[in-house]
Amino acid sequence: EVQLLESGGGLIQPGGSLRLSCAASASTFGTYVMIWVRQAPGKGLEWVSTIDNTGGTTYYADSVKGRFTISRDNSKNTLYLQMNSLRAEDTAIYYCAKRAKVELRPGLYSYNMDVWGKGTTVTVSS
Amino acid sequence: EIVLTQSPGTLSLSPGERATLSCRASQSVSSNYLAWYQQKPGQAPRLLIYGASSRATGIPDRFSGSGSGTDFTLTISRLEPEDFAVYYCGGSVPWTFGQGTKVEIK
Per-residue pLDDT, A92 = 98
How many residues appear in chain A? 126
The mean pLDDT of A86-102, rounded to a whole number, is 97
Per-residue pLDDT, B1 = 87
Residue A49 CA to residue A94 CA, distance in Å, equals: 11
B90 — contact with chain A (CB < 8 Å)? Answer: yes
B97 pairs with which residues across the strands? B90
> What is the band of A73 on the pLDDT scale with cuts at 50, 70, 90?
very high
CA atoms B78, B82, B85, B87: torsion sign? negative
Helix/strand number for chain A, H first, E second? 0, 11
Identify the segments of chain B with pLDDT beneath 70.
none
Residue B99 CA to residue B89 CA, distance in Å, equals: 8
Per-residue pLDDT, A116 = 98
> What is the band of A23 on the pLDDT scale with cuts at 50, 70, 90?
very high
Per-residue pLDDT, B94 = 86
Closest-CA residue of chain A to B30: A110
What is the rounded average pLDDT for all residues in chain A? 97
Per-residue pLDDT, A26 = 86
Cβ atoms of A49 and A70 closer than 8 Å: yes
A21 pairs with which residues across the strands? A7, A80
Cβ-based contacts of B99 with chain A (< 8 Å): 44
A6 pairs with which residues across the strands? A22
Interface touch B96/A44, C-beta < 8 Å: no
B37 — contact with chain A (CB < 8 Å)? Answer: yes
